[in-house]
Structures are given as structure tokens and as C-alpha cells.
Amino acid sequence: MKEFFPEVEKIKYEGKDSKNPLAFRYYNPDEVVMGKTLAEHLRFAVCYWHTFKGSGADPFGGPTMIRNYNNSSDPMQVAEDTIEAAFEFFTKLGVNFWCFHDRDIAPEADSLAETNARLDKIVAKAKKLQNDTGIKLLWGTTNAFSHRRFLAGAGTNPSPEVFAYAASQVKKAMEITYELGGQGYVFWGGREGYDTLLNTDMGRELDHLAMLLKMAVEHKKNIGFKGQLLIEPKPKEPTKHQYDFDAGNCIAFLQKYGLVEHFKMNIEANHATLAGHDFQHELALCTANGVLGSVDANRGDMLLGWDTDQFPTNIYETTLAMYTILKDGGFTTGGLNFDAKLRRQSIDPVDLFYAHVGSMDSFARGLKIAAKMLEDGALENEIKERYAGWDGGFGQKIEKGNATFEDMEKYILENGEPTLRSGRQELLENILNDYIC
């Protein structure tokens, strides 16, 4: 088989004193932390769209990245070479999972039937590559936002014909995800939103979106797919207002339509910041509601208002993210998918390796720091004490739902002004820094 990244050998763990930029210094996949190996905790996945289909193009200029797997004039040859290059990359990097959109792996043809036949061809090849390498599919999804037919959305399109096209794509994408043993299936609402309310019936569009998801739940049952269905919230871009704005909004939507038991969230760091939250907030809101499924690991630029999808290298953020994930019991079917892209100027194939190696090391460091903080109870003891009033007597009576307004009033009349305690934020931030540095 042709080698697409001949300049890179299998990336190894060399320890933190290594000066080799193509080695892990913190990610030792076999190291055990809190009863599981780092590989089992972190469940890293590489995304197909940015890593193998990204070209460095932006609204101001065309591709900057020239690759040796996308230079054929035959689009199916490109698809075949790219899937081989992808599995070579996953193997050399040492990740156990990958993620894709249907249209990433096989180009659209002139009809849905032909497009699906092309997909089947590449899926058969992907299945063989998965078997040969042991690399698994974390999740699959459909791209129902790039083609011009989806200019006004997919499930929320004003036309039932476009809705039907989108539903047909979801159907097939779920089937191939099942065929490839995917652990999940993601719905990111590509253009499910609006640009102006002057032409939008919002209530009707939301009902239609729920209808699409109901069909997906039904289809999952019909084909026997056991993977987790996931929604990936995002507040804006490409539309001015995306309906799946943030985790809170998605949870309320799912509850309204009786779908909440069927879905979990796939939280993306940069989507959280676009929504005016931080990454940890979105993760914590999900864990508080029992719906954290998986993570799109990346980073935004706080000075830019769009989805820059940078590789995650901020140890402060990876620590707090892993802290929240560990506190929730860790991933089951989910993982850390690098939904991140190289900067336009990072034009060499080896840059893809630097980017992933650095991000994997950043999460490995975050995980180890978070585990140590949890083991020591560094922050948890303070939280426990802060809420201790609820653990017995009067607090328990309220928590159990056995108290009334009259009881509250009586308590205050008898006991007087509540005792206050410091929130200790500065102290806790200092403790966090001590663990990180």
C-alpha cells in the first residue's frame, strides 16, 4: 500500500524530557490513572473533515495545503486515496477512533442512489481498514448543510422536499455508521436556524426539526443500531441564530418534544465560547442533567467572534474539562474528537501531526492534573463543606420536598439572620494553579 506520510514514523511516548517534537511527552496510552489507562479515559478521535478535507481555504483565498492524496482528477480516486491516508495517519498517531460526515468520505454524485453507491464503496474500504488496524468509529454524521439545496436548512427547511432529502441522508448516514460499528451518531444543526425572522415561521421549523429527530429514533430501533444519538449545540454560524443554541436550549427542546431520553450532548469547546459560555460551563450543565455524551475538543480565539476551531493547547481549559468529565464518571461511548483545523499558514502534512500530538499531550496533562485534584479532594472538600447545611436536618427536609413556605418562615423567625461564609474563590484559584504548574 502506498505511504502518504513517509516523513513520519509511529509516534511514541518518550516522557516529559524528550525534545522530539514528534513524540508524546505526557500521553502514555498505557499509564493508569484512577483505575483506567489514559487511552481508555481520553478516547481520542481524529475528525475527517478538517484533517483530511481541510485545505486552508478561507473567505479571502483558496487552498494553501497541497496533499498527495487529493491530486487525482477522479473524485472517487481521491476518496480512496484519502481513506488510506487517513488510516495511515490514525495508526501513526496512535488514536483509537475517528469521526466523519458522509460527504467527507465520498463525493456526491448526480442522484441520491448514485451518491449512496459511492458511499457504500468507500464504507466497504473503511470497514476493511478498521479491521486491519483495530481503529474504531467514534461517531458518524451527515453533511446536510454544504450543498446548495440546504441553503435554508435541512430539517427546518420551509420545503418538505428538502426535508425529505435531508431525512434520506440521515437515514443512510445512520446505516453506514451502524455498519462501521459507530459508538454514536451526531446531529449538528448545520443550517438549522434562521438569518431573518422576516421570512421565518420559527414554531413550525422547531416542530419539523423534532419530527426529523423522531424519525431518527424510530430508524435507530428499526435497524438495531445501539449507538448513542447526540446533539451538538452551536449558537450561530452559519446562520445568525442556530436553534441548537447551547446545551440548556437543546435540553429544553428535547424535553418539550419528549425526546430527552434518546439523546445526549456532544459539547464543542469553541461552540460554548461562541454562546458566551466557557467550555467547562457547557460540560457541567450536561453532567448536572445527565446528558454529557461526547466532546469536540478544540479552542476558539477570544478576540475573534467566529468558530476558529483551533487545536486545544490551553492546559487550564483541558484540566477543567477533564475535571468535569472525570467527576461525571468519565466517557462511556463518547470521547475527545479533535474538531480542529490547522491555520492557513501551516501547510505541511507534518503540521497535522504536531497539532494532534500537542493536543493529545495537553489533554493527557489535563487528565492527570484533574485526577490528582479529585484524589486529593482539593476542590471537592470545599464544595462539600459549602453545601453541608443541606446534608441533614432542616436542609434535608427541604431537599426531600417535605417543607412549606410556613416552615421556612417559622425557621427564620426562630433562628434569625443566616450565617454567611466566604466563597473562597481566590484561594481555590490559587489551589488550581498549584496543581497545574
Contacts of 161 (CB under 8 A, 6+ apart): none
Q: Which residue has the cell 441564530?
A: 241
Min dist CB 268 to ligand XUL, Å, is 5
Distance between alpha carbon 189 and the CA centroid of its chain, in Å?
13
- How many other CB atoms are found less than 10 A from the CB of residue 428? 14
Considering the complex, what minimum distance in angstroms separates the CB of residue 234 from ligand XUL?
Answer: 6
**Residue 88 or 339: which CB sits closer to Co ion?**
339
Name the minimum Å distance from CB 188 to Co ion. 6
Smallest separation (angstroms) from ligand XUL to the CB of 271: 6
The interface partner of residue 307, options being Co ion, ligand XUL, none and the CB cut-off 5 to 8 Å by kind, is ligand XUL
* Cα gap 90→113, rounded to integer Å: 30
Spatial separation of the C-alpha atoms in residues 319 and 246, rounded to whole Å = 22
* Complex with Co ion: residue 189 or 227, whichever CB lies closer: 189
Return the C-alpha cell found at 301: 480565539
Structure-block grid coordinates of residue 399: 431537599
Set of cell numbers at residue 114:
448514485
Residue number with the smallest Cβ distance to ligand XUL: 188
User: What is the rounded distance in angstroms from the CA atom of residue 23 to the CA atom of residue 394?
Assistant: 56
* DSSP secondary structure letters along 361-430: HHHHHHHHHHHHHHHHTTTHHHHHHHTGGGSSHHHHHHHTT---HHHHHHHHHHH-SPPP----HHHHHH
130 vs 313: CA distance, rounded Å: 29
State the minimum distance, in angstroms, from the CB of residue 298 to ligand XUL.
8
Residue 282 binding result from Co ion, ligand XUL, none, given CB thresholds of 5 to 8 Å by partner type: none
Amino acid, res. 147? H
- Of 88 and 339, the one with the shorter C-beta distance to ligand XUL is 339
Q: Residues with catalytic annotation?
A: 101, 104
CB of 234 to Co ion, least distance (A): 8
Q: Of 54, 9, 232, which Cα lies nearest the Cα of 142?
A: 232
How many residues belong to the chain?
Answer: 437
Nearer to Co ion, 80 or 296 (CB): 296
Enumerate binding residues for Co ion (CB under 5 A). 268, 296, 339
Contact residues for ligand XUL, defined by CB under 6 A: 49, 101, 141, 186, 188, 232, 234, 268, 296, 307, 339
- CB-wise, 268 or 282, nearer to Co ion? 268
Comparing CB distances to ligand XUL, the nearer of 28 and 115 is 115
* Torsion sign (Cα): 284, 286, 291, 296: negative
